[in-house]
Amino acid sequence: MQSSTIEITHITRKYGDFTAVDNLTLSIGKGEVFGLLGPNGAGKSTTILMLMGLTEPSSGSMRICGLDPVRQPIEVKKKVGYLPEDVGFYDDLTGPENLVYTARLNGIPEREAEERALLLMRRVGLGEEMDKKAGKYSRGMRQRLGLADVLMKDPEVIILDEPTLGIDPSGIRDFLGLIVSLSREEGITVLFSSHHLHQVQQVCDRVGIFVKGRLLAQGDIASLARQLFADSDESGQEYGLEDIYYRYFEGESKDESNSHSA
């Protein structure tokens, strides 16, 4: 793996007696697409908030692009683009006008912003929608515009938090293809947080399985399968992410039932 862009070391985040993230250690390389896979409430969004400097860990440390999000949150935001599941835009502005507005907030000169906005509209497949108001965009189009918005400041890292919710299947395929090409062609590091197994399997170089605040396993699908099924009678079979994911849930369920009975 190339040099790490994201380094998380023994991070824990507690809210009172509730532990949202439990002793998380994770390293993500430059240009890698890493999938943070887990159900809703697993701690994925809390991890993202900490990386963005929007909430502080209870203990542990992290670096993103060599910066400490706790002490350098503004510098982090200059290098990291964040795309949530629901992007907000000014509905009475066109796509390019929304992008130029973002550029102004980031101190990008007007002429450069206008040129970059048009370039990125084409890059994300919205070249035919230049004059359409954002309020008329479909859900998939808004997410594409959101990706262009993130790219306006030329980030080193893109963090995607459930970005495909509500998009039709063909739109999802195109959107995921964009993510992969950005990573491969421009060396952007991508953290893709999702509970959709198939999507994560399609685009991610490695996967971290996240359940109840804990990272249970990480690696590419082949190595995870070897870890899980090495002693199985079916070890010669090929396994997908779904098999791996539910095997971990099965183990989690057994751990829970044992702790309840103790």
What pLDDT score does 236 carry? 47
What pLDDT score does 92 carry? 97
How far is residue 124's CA from residue 256's CA, in Å, rounded to a whole number?
A: 44
Q: Using CB atoms within 10 A of its CB, is residue 257 exposed (0-12), middle (13-18) or buried (19+)?
A: exposed
Q: Looking at residue 71, which CATH number applies to its domain?
A: 3.40.50.300
Q: Which domain holds residue 167?
A: 4-87+157-219
Separation in Å, CA 248 to CA 13, 78, 224, 225, 226: 23, 37, 10, 11, 13
Question: What is the helix (H) or strand (E) element at residue 191, kind and residue range?
Answer: strand 189-194
CA gyration radius, the chain? 20
CB 190 within 8 A of CB 29: no
In a domain, 44, yes or no: yes
In a domain, 12, yes or no: yes
In a domain, 61, yes or no: yes
Work out the end-to-end distance of the chain between its first and last CA atoms, rounded to an integer number of angstroms: 42
Question: What is the helix (H) or strand (E) element at residue 34, kind and residue range?
Answer: strand 33-37
Closest CA to 36 of 262, 250, 200, 148: 200
- pLDDT digit string (tens) for the chain, length 262 residues: 457 999 999 999 999 999 999 999 999 999 999 999 988 889 999 999 999 999 999 999 999 999 999 999 999 998 999 998 888 899 999 999 999 999 998 889 999 999 999 999 999 999 999 999 999 999 889 999 999 999 998 999 999 998 888 888 888 888 898 889 888 888 999 999 988 888 888 899 999 998 899 998 899 888 887 776 665 555 446 677 777 777 776 655 444 433 333 3
In a domain, 247, yes or no: no
Question: What is the helix (H) or strand (E) element at residue 6, kind and residue range?
Answer: strand 4-15
In a domain, 249, yes or no: no
CB 130 within 8 A of CB 121: yes
In a domain, 204, yes or no: yes
Q: Is 133 helix (H, G, I), strand (E, B) or coil?
A: strand
What pLDDT score does 262 carry? 38
How far is residue 216's CA from residue 210's CA, in Å, rounded to a whole number?
A: 6
- Please count the helices (runs of H) and the strands (runs of E) in the chain: 9, 9
- The domain total for the chain is 1
pTM of structure: 0.85
In a domain, 58, yes or no: yes
Where do we find the tokens 């070391």? 9
What pLDDT score does 195 carry? 86
Q: Is 147 helix (H, G, I), strand (E, B) or coil?
A: helix
